[in-house]
Amino acid sequence: MISRNFYFKLVLRVIILSLTALLFAFLFFYKNYAFSGLAFVLLIIQVVSLIHYLNHTNRKIAYFFDAIRNEDFTLHFPEKDIIKSFKNLNHSLNSSG
């Protein structure tokens, strides 16, 4: 369940990112530089957002494995996250410890 929601959000972000890149190329090709500049800024924001999304999940999993390696079972992840996939991930990590 967690991975399906994670992959759905990841694929959705990649599709939107691809469409924005196509929009940027189309606008740039037809010499509409003002709107192509806006599309490029939107493209950069989407790339940064995707990187942040992936790093957020990877950091939580890395903390979890570090806690297991150090035999620290007091690690607790907040389960009141706004994003449902992170909420489910946090719940899973808490119950595994």
pLDDT in tens, 9-54: 889 999 999 999 999 999 999 999 999 999 999 999 999 999 998 8
Confirm if 5 and 84 have CB atoms less than 8 A apart: yes
Residue 35's pLDDT is what? 95
pLDDT higher at 66 or 93? 66
* Full-model pTM: 0.66
Answer whether 49's CB lies under 8 Å from 13's CB: yes
In this prediction, residue 34 carries a pLDDT of 94
- How many Cβ atoms sit within 10 Å of the Cβ of residue 37? 13
Which of 51, 48, 74 shows the shortest CA–CA distance to 63?
74
What separation in angstroms does the CA of 93 have from each of 7, 23, 37, 59, 79? 18, 40, 42, 12, 10
